[in-house]
Amino acid sequence: MNDFMSNNTTKLDIRGLRGIIREFGLIIIGIFLLFGSAGTLAWIRGWIYICLMLLYQIFYVSILMIINPQLLNERGKFSWKETKRYDKYFGIFYSIFGFSMLIVAGLDVVRFQWSSIPFITIYPSIVVFIVFSFIALWAYVSNAHFILTSRNDKLGNQRVCTIGPYRCIRHPGYLAAIICSLCYPLMLGSLFSFIPVFINMLLLIIRTFYEDKTLKTELVGYDVYSKTTKYRLFPYLW
């Protein structure tokens, strides 16, 4: 969340391993929800979506294991008690609507055919997804403290990240998440799945507001950084 990349020689530990297993476990749950709601495995758009999620996760884990395994360890460390209140609510609702998107897409496109998006839209959506996935990875690589949740402990041992995409906006990882999420309904071909996606976009914007406010209060130097890097999430807008 808020430091530049470290060059330490820390190795992946049990926390990092747990985090990796958790991330792949969420993808497996997504497979069951997506194809369970569709009622069939014969859905090429569904498999394209799943393959992209798996490929990104494999690439992300591989890069961080080489460059900064400590970040994987920190992201694998999760404590409900240590998580700030606003992030607890965010985590619950973001997960609910994220999984809802998969269920809605399966019901919409395959089982009931409520809506339809031309297959050709899958190509630009894949390109945009890949581009912004690399921006997200750039944020991870640049920022040694891009941890999973905002914690109650103070940020005195961290420093403001001002390199990479953080030179342009203060929360590039969240911008990448928002743009990537808009690609999912186009990949899957479901207009109705835009509903939970839009809700999660709003949740990310709210989270950005509260996290930014927290960093200005608790992280030394962040208030000065916010004056030079003016935009939180959307360049030239906010």
- 159-181, pLDDT tens digit by residue? 888 888 999 999 999 999 999 99
Quick one: angle between helices 194-218 and 172-188, nearest 10? Answer: 170
**CATH number of the domain that 27 lies in?**
1.20.120.1630
Q: What percent of the chain has pLDDT over 90?
A: 57
Residue 47 lies in a domain: yes
181-234 tens-digit pLDDT: 999 999 999 999 999 999 999 999 999 998 888 888 888 888 898 999 999 999
User: Given pLDDT bands bounded at 50, 70 and 90, which one contains residue 87?
Assistant: confident
User: Given pLDDT bands bounded at 50, 70 and 90, which one contains residue 64?
Assistant: confident
| Contact residues for 201 (Cβ-Cβ < 8 A; gap 6+) | 178, 181, 182
Residue 3 lies in a domain: no
Domain range for residue 101? 14-228
Residue 84 lies in a domain: yes
Question: Which pLDDT score, from 0 to 100, does residue 112 have?
Answer: 95
121-155 tens-digit pLDDT: 999 999 999 999 999 999 988 887 777 666 656 55
Residues 101-135 as b or e (16 or more Cβ within 10 Å = b): bbbbbbbbbbeeeeeebeeeebeebbeebeebbeb
The single-letter DSSP state of residue 231 is: -
Question: Which pLDDT score, from 0 to 100, does residue 11 have?
Answer: 83
Question: Which pLDDT score, from 0 to 100, does residue 5 have?
Answer: 44
Question: Which pLDDT score, from 0 to 100, does residue 4 have?
Answer: 40
C-alpha to C-alpha distance for 114 and 101, rounded to whole angstroms:
14
Residue 65 lies in a domain: yes
The single-letter DSSP state of residue 6 is: P
Number of Cβ within 10 Å of residue 57's Cβ equals 15
How many separate domains does the chain show? 1
